[in-house]
Chain A
Amino acid sequence: MSTPHESDGYLAHAPGYVANDGPKLITSRFEHSDSFTLQRYLATGGYNGLQAALRATPQEVHQQVREATLLGRGGAGFPAGVKWGFLPPGKHPYYLVVNGDESEPGTYKDRLLMERDPHQLIEGCLIACYALGLQQCFLYVRGEMALAQERITAALNEAYEAGYVGREIRGSDFSVDIVMSQGAGAYIVGEETALIESLEGRRGMPRLKPPYFPAAVGLYGQPTIVNNVETLSNLPWLLTNGAEAYRSYGSETSPGTRMFAVSGHLQRPGVYEVQHGVTTFRELIYGNNYCQGIRQGRELKMFIPGGGSSPWFFGEHLDLPLEAKPVGAAGSMLGSGAIVVMDDTTDAVKAAWRVVKFFARESCGKCTPCREGTTWLEQILRRILDGEGRPADIDLLLDIGDNISPGPYPAAAHGELEAVPFPPRQTTICPLGPSAVAPVVSTIRRFRHEYEAKITRRDPIPVMAVPAGAAL
């Protein structure tokens, strides 16, 4: 295939990843073509974080993670150390479930972490299990990721053999089993309670919270920590170098680094590890070190800042830092670290339709507003694109959106729309349905004229006369 050149910073053995001059806390081994082997891992400081953890008490390890303010990298951005503290005392066994079901449109950093550095993830799992007394770890990898499954399985076999996983790890009294498990094609399983259902051998449909907060009632009804792959992959570095060193990267409220997949109409799309909370969207999209601007010198039209679920951003948002709070205040979210950039040739309605089509297809069907609503949104957008739109369709789209995610915007459709409220209010168990509302409202708000142009373009179709008595 037309592989991009190594001179552009791409690596033939790790398509998509682009090294830059910034700190490499979790991608440090990506440059090695054998980064996934135990040999390379041990030669590059591997399992030092585990050794450091084993020299400390479990409480001290947990405290380090708290002090580092390691924010969850899966989407919600909740501090891992605080999440860990939600385990109710004494209700053993506790479990660790690793969310490797990365499927959010535009997102891929967990896949690279699993394929390129599986031992780093395994070591992160071990550190979490040691700190919290978790008795077994389930590494749930997205079904479609055959190579990630293979690399993790091979790494687990090596790690067991070398005594890093299993009984009495490295001569200590710490013992834990890690098993690689798989999904089989269902986006919704990335939602943590749906993932637990799937891991119990059921249809992956979300559970109602409360009572099913995993930390309280999780896998097999036991307290369960569900962490994202990237979150756990930070732990080896953090334990090796300490919380203070970790906090020297990134910003005060978002320490460390973060991986972003930046795709779409770019000169140099790629997956980059960047300083968390410091780097701005503008630097990432236009910086020489990163994506080097819009393709062929074209103009930016809009971008998705945090995966398919996030409300869209425009030129005026470029100077926001890659940090949860300011992005949230501006009406969207950093989400899963996926930025999709669209230039001025992009059809806003079509782009919105494609994202909505995804949610319609992936709705699990448990909640009516989502099951019906996402389908209707998709069909209405489709007919607008096909030149069959009706004058009331814009209001109808907003009204259906309001049924899934009640907010001020349908009422405001006659005047200036409010920013998409985020996090969304929802009439559903999980945020999948509301996610489908984000692109619709984002594009109607900014590009209403594009919708109107498509709708008024419609040529009236004369009603065919049907002869009386004709069989229909």
Chain B
Amino acid sequence: MKPDSASVFTTDNEARAVEIISWFPRPRSAMIPLLHLAQQQDGYVSDAAMRRVGELIGVTTAEVKGTASFYEMFRFEPVGRYLINVCTNISCLLCGGEELLEHACEVLGTEVGGTTSDAMFTLEEVECIAACTEAPCLQVNYRYRGRVTNTDFDRLVEDLRAGQTDIPHHGVLSQVHQRTDAEHRAGIVPPEQAREAPVWISRNSDTQAGD
């Protein structure tokens, strides 16, 4: 079977990918945002998506894989609809993070790193997620919950199972996209095409930034 990599992204996301690339002076800078786009669409980053990302930004699939594998948010196999990240770093450790993680394992019936058999939940132990005063804290698909008691956790799991939260499926980060058209932008070009001092600097030009 020869996969048609142009059809990896939906038509909308293909357009979105082109839009993302247009915001950077060099296409390769769109690497991480495009991998997020792939994960947003499919819940994980497939091999086919990495091939397509490579085509879009002009690098090999190996370079895309080599880069993507450095960053721990990218998943290369499907995970649960909800990725629950429990923090056990120092502030959470002091306030019951380990105990919360243990409770989460029991409630979900899975080990750390595991996915429930109904594919609803994947549980991870993570490093500091910047909510330290709200310890112990966790994220569900990167949405925060703080000062989480065992009871809170149980209710959260129930709500997620019942579809009673506004948390989107795994892979969706910002639900707003930058959408300014070329006409209203200053103009994004490769560095080779921007060698002149900008006009508001040259106007004041006996001095320059860096003096």
Which A residues are closer than 8 A to B by beta carbons? Answer: 1-4, 15-16, 57-59, 62, 84-90, 92-94, 102-108, 110-111, 130-136, 142-147, 149-150, 153-154, 156-157, 160-161, 166-167, 172-177, 179-187, 198-204, 220-223, 261-265, 269-271, 304, 308, 338, 340, 342, 346, 350-351, 354-355, 358, 361-362, 364
Q: What's the nearest-Cβ distance from chain B to residue A343, in Å?
A: 8
A/B interface sample: 21 pairs, CB < 8 A: A2-B152, A58-B209, A85-B211, A89-B208, A90-B197, A93-B195, A106-B128, A144-B139, A145-B142, A153-B176, A153-B178, A167-B184, A186-B70, A187-B127, A201-B31, A201-B57, A221-B191, A263-B132, A264-B90, A340-B91, A361-B127
A2-B147, A58-B201, A220-B191 known; A200 vs B29 contact (CB < 8 Å): yes
Return the chain A residue nearest B91 by Cβ: A263
Query: Do A149 and B178 touch (CB < 8 A)?
Result: no
A1-B147, A265-B94, A362-B127 known; A58 vs B135 contact (CB < 8 Å): no
Of the residues B66, B129, B184, contact of A144 by C-beta under 8 Å: B129
Query: Do B188 and A177 touch (CB < 8 A)?
Result: yes
Q: What's the nearest-Cβ distance from chain B to residue A307, in Å?
A: 9
Q: Which residues of A contact B146 (CB under 8 A)?
A: 1, 15-16
Secondary structure call for the A interface: mixed
Q: Which residues of B contact A177 (CB under 8 A)?
A: 23, 185-188
Q: What's the nearest-Cβ distance from chain A to residue B135, in Å?
A: 6
Q: What's the nearest-Cβ distance from chain B to residue A119, in Å?
A: 14
Secondary structure call for the B interface: loop
Besides A93-B191, A186-B70, 10 more A-B contacts (Cβ < 8 Å) are A2-B148, A4-B147, A92-B196, A106-B132, A130-B200, A134-B209, A156-B180, A166-B184, A166-B186, A184-B32
A167 to B186, CA, bound (A): 4
Query: Do B211 and A157 touch (CB < 8 A)?
Result: no
A1-B148, A166-B180, A354-B89 known; A133 vs B25 contact (CB < 8 Å): no
Q: What's the nearest-Cβ distance from chain A to residue B195, in Å?
A: 6
Within 8 A of A (CB), among B22-40: 23-26, 28-33, 35-36
Query: Do B194 and A92 touch (CB < 8 A)?
Result: yes
A136-B188, A173-B199, A200-B26 known; A263 vs B135 contact (CB < 8 Å): yes
B174 part of interface (Cβ distance < 8 Å): yes
A90-B197, A201-B30, A271-B133 known; A157 vs B127 contact (CB < 8 Å): no
- Which of B10-18, B71-79, B101-109, B113-121 lies on the face that meets chain A? B71-79
Query: Do A111 and B130 touch (CB < 8 A)?
Result: yes
A229 to B67, CA, bound (A): 25
Query: Do A308 and B197 touch (CB < 8 A)?
Result: no
A246 to B210, CA, bound (A): 23
Q: What's the nearest-Cβ distance from chain A to residue B1, in Å?
A: 29
A175 to B190, CA, bound (A): 16
A111 to B165, CA, bound (A): 23
Query: Do A84 and B180 touch (CB < 8 A)?
Result: no
How does the 8 Å CB contact mask read for B37-67 relative to A, with 1 for contact and 0 for none?
0000000000000000000010100000011
Q: What's the nearest-Cβ distance from chain B to residue A86, in Å?
A: 7
Query: Do A269 and B130 touch (CB < 8 A)?
Result: no
Query: Do A105 and B128 touch (CB < 8 A)?
Result: yes
Q: What's the nearest-Cβ distance from chain B to residue A451, in Å?
A: 18
- Closest CB pairs A-B (n = 8): A201-B31, A184-B71, A108-B130, A201-B28, A175-B186, A87-B210, A263-B132, A185-B73
Which residue among A105, A180, A183, A350 has the maximum number of chain B CB atoms within 10 Å of its CB?
Answer: A105
B169 part of interface (Cβ distance < 8 Å): no
Query: Do B173 and A143 touch (CB < 8 A)?
Result: yes
A62 to B207, CA, bound (A): 12
B110 part of interface (Cβ distance < 8 Å): no
A136 to B36, CA, bound (A): 22
Query: Do B67 and A202 touch (CB < 8 A)?
Result: yes
Return the chain A residue nearest B69 by Cβ: A203
A102 to B85, CA, bound (A): 17
Q: What's the nearest-Cβ distance from chain B to residue A380, in Å?
A: 19
Q: What's the nearest-Cβ distance from chain A to residue B132, in Å?
A: 4
Query: Do A340 and B184 touch (CB < 8 A)?
Result: no
Q: Which residues of B contact A102 (CB under 8 A)?
A: 130
Q: What's the nearest-Cβ distance from chain B to residue A102, in Å?
A: 6
A157-B176, A187-B127, A342-B94 known; A59 vs B145 contact (CB < 8 Å): no
A230 to B126, CA, bound (A): 25
Return the chain B residue nearest A2 by Cβ: B147
Query: Do A62 and B209 touch (CB < 8 A)?
Result: yes
Query: Do B199 and A94 touch (CB < 8 A)?
Result: no
A87 to B23, CA, bound (A): 24
